[in-house]
Structure 1
Amino acid sequence: MAKEIERKFVVDGAGWRDLTERAIPMRQFYLAAAPDRSVRIRVIGGVTAVLTLKFGRRARERDEFEYAIPLEEAREMEAFAVGHVIEKTRYHVRHDGFLFEVDVFAGELAGLVLAELETPDEMPDATLPAWLGREVTDEAAYSNAVLALRGRPAEPS
């Protein structure tokens, strides 16, 4: 079992684009989603599929289990998806030795750009890149499961 410790941010600037190391197209959907657990299937680059189980109520730290599954079975399970299928491209971006995953959403969520940072320790806010906007780690509306179930969150006023 691996603990996932992450922070999530809305991306405001485009400064990350020049730092991109890799772009990975993804299609993901949920078979179950509740405040304390989720079951997700992710198809990566159209060639591999992963089943992910997440448990826990704390946004910054959850238990996560991942398993490779046959691509054809993943495609069959999409018929059982709850909510919408999420389509996005994930970009790997390094800043000060940390790997940020910047997700650029397509389809119903087009225009939404979020960045996640997974680290074993907290990263001081002073070292965060300038292209990050508001932190939304503790806002459930920005979790992928809630995005799949409810769509794009309303912009704060």
Structure 2
Amino acid sequence: MQEIERKFLTTSTAFIQEATQAQKIVQGYLNSHPERTVRVRIKNEKGFITIKGKGDSTGTTRFEWEKEIGIEEARALIQLCESGVIDKTRYLIPKGNHVFEVDVFEGENRGLIMAEIELSSSNEIFEKPNWLGEEVTTDERYYNAYLSKKPFTTW
């Protein structure tokens, strides 16, 4: 149940041509405390609830537990969430042995495009596509829980 993830900005939207899938995502936070977040997500027409722990000193590794819930339950829970619901489209881009998830944010976070990759270990080597930009793994401003409170358009 450990998640090892690195985050990057992108230098272009060239990834869209490489995408094998796009998913509409709406998510909110029942709890956005940095020590533990509780997230409700609607991805296409499926609901999920996720609990994440605090990241380690590298920002790449943290506890994550996720469970699929009914879509109506997810819609009801979104209504209980803290203000600042996240709205984005996620593109899945296979690259080598990995899949990049690139989020194109909408609403108050419009203009932000961020790529994530999940790894087996924090020092795992992976193929970097030419549209991958600056790494922001350790910058908490790029955490979705932070973006829900301090949207990208207000920076």
TM-score by length of 1: 0.90
Q: Which residue identity is paired with 1:147?
A: L
- For the 8 Å contact 2:90–2:104, the answer to whether it is kept is yes
Aligned residues with identical type, % of pairs: 36
Q: Which residue identity is paired with 1:137?
A: T
Structure (1/2) with the larger strand percentage: 1
Aligned residues: CA RMSD:
1.6
d(CA) in 2 for partners of 1:79, 1:96: 39
Shift of 1:108: 1.1
Q: Which residue of 2 aligns with 1:76?
A: 76
Q: What secondary structure is seen at the aligned counterpart in 1 of 2:13? A: coil
Q: What residue ranges of structure 2 are gaps of 5+ in the alignment?
A: none
Q: Which runs of 4+ in 1 moved over 3 A?
A: none
Q: Which residue of 2 aligns with 1:34?
A: 33
Pair 1:54 & 2:59 matched: no
d(CA) in 2 for partners of 1:129, 1:111: 20
- For the 8 Å contact 1:147–1:153, the answer to whether it is kept is no
Q: Deviations over 1:37-87 (max 9, x none)?
A: 100000011x21000000123221011111111211211122221131111
- For the 8 Å contact 2:108–2:153, the answer to whether it is kept is no
Change (3 A) 1:86 1:104: same
Q: Deviations over 1:84-111 (max 9, x none)?
A: 1111111000122221000011111111
Shift of 1:153: 7.0
Q: Deviations over 1:90-135 (max 9, x none)?
A: 100012222100001111111110000001033447x311201110
Pairwise mapping of residues 3-152 of structure 1 onto structure 2 (< 5 A)?
3-45=2-44, 47-58=45-56, 59-121=59-121, 122-124=123-125, 127-152=127-152
d(CA) in 1 for partners of 2:106, 2:25: 10
